[in-house]
Structure 1
């Protein structure tokens, strides 16, 4: 009999497994369908000895010092500020759109103040912003929307931005200065030894048992447990009884080239051309030195593992029905991107997991077993 069964060994499940094991002294069985821990953040060394992210680039950034402090128990950090270029009209231009983007695109020499006037002259008036398209055209106008956003979004989500929630493009800012960082967060660093090593340290506790290549639906009646934390797709938990929630997936093409560097930054987006959305070159992220370089090409698809909830009103309405069902499941906690049908960043998932643990602490008395001490900062 395990005190807890946790389904999914990504950030949500692993953080909760560590907290329950170390702070409550309770037994945890952590299971995952895949052959590894770490979820989509899993990284590994390929045949060339280059550390790659199997499921596309994962860039850690946050404004929450509490989340940094928590994860720093299990990893040292490598400073990295993410920069992205977009291949538009045959040029590599900074994205999010900033002063340099516009000046280089149009051959201008605008100042920051003049750029604001430039945007103001091109914005479209939108009475009420509902969609991803509304967000962009009301900020920078139709032409820049077509060049930088529409094609990329259609490839990524499989539908036009006019059919997607405003949250999709609201995540990407527009700047009038020359700041070319993709994120503006106060903390932007990568786990120094990689994400997988961080997860290994997090789960290195005698109260945590791990079963990989294990499907919850196949073991839920066979393994005794007192309480359940579920981080998989919420519609699958309920055997799709209300219908399937749409998710977007990705197909990855990993290649290694006999050159030291392929592109000037870690990620280049392709909003106008190519079937793929972006190319990632990992050595930029890790600072690793190697005479060869490894890349990943990303192809969005509807087929495969669920990655992104599709933000449309009808999908949110269906999720709300599943959420109502989950409220009638005592002893089950739904956590993470798939279980709550939200497009969370990694730090947001960690924050949600830590908040869930705080609620568990308040509502469920801990067992009599003394908690183990937290892991020390690795060297």
Structure 2
């Protein structure tokens, strides 16, 4: 596709990303080659080269610097989640540069998969897909675990500019002082962590709502209104009770103990703001349905949350496919289209290359698509039948093959490799 035409068809905010996509791909490919070269050299060779007290690896330091550069580029073009993934990859490569003897294929596979996930995410965005940035989280988490990061949380990739906002006070809620809430909150939280249930979550939501009603307008009230909404989401089974959600409880308990502490200011408390943002993140994961609770509804209205602010942060589908395979498949589709079009028009000279070209395309289809083998075999049978007939393919067959190739081409452009309807198509 002509790059100028493609850029003109993109929304204004994606055009800069389109311009840097190829630079991003080349930079990551260069980093991967450096890492693979280190693995290929083998541990024994690295001991010989660096000694048992290995000196920092200059090639890996250069690779880390390259990752730093492209992460800055992604920040500039408005892709902060992608930049965060690359910063995590940079930290991992920088650590390996200091300890080159620790480079192994498993670590390199992990870094490559994260980069592949980022490239697939960018491709989907440019194809018009509304893929959530949270789809990058499994790869980001793996990198941060490798880096032994202190905080690893899906909200770190959430593209929402947080600010404190006033949330409508729920009518009819009985105000409860912090002193009256502490003991029952701690007991209810312990029960909920031991055995999560809708009843326990509903109890916690009510306690948080009562506390919020007793606090003056400000950050403290907003924080506890957000907490009430999160527990309401759990009570309504709109939110999974996973490890991230469970950690909120201990942080809220700590916050509850600090209410009214001397010398504590309402302003400039990064820990409280981080907690509030995490709470809002989980509120956004709760999609409002008919009959959704009033506390979640109030938060969604105050922060203008929509379904697009949610996403599945446990979806690990991105990153399983090497972008080089996709690039190769695109070239094979283009070559197959040209040859088939010429053969359908009666060009006998192009018939001889059909078998080889469609064999290559079949390999790509089988590798990239879960149901690709079915289409690959069908296309190859059509080509074999055409070659045996030594004549122009019938119009109906010619059109069917051409349509199939166009469909594959569109799927490759959209990076859509795991759509449920593909098997039927």
TM-score (norm: length of structure 1):
0.27
In terms of fraction of residues, the more strand-rich structure is: 1
Task: Pick 1 or 2: higher relative contact order, CA cutoff 8 A, min separation 6.
Answer: 1
Greater C-alpha Rg: 2
TM-score (norm: length of structure 2):
0.25
In terms of fraction of residues, the more helix-rich structure is: 2
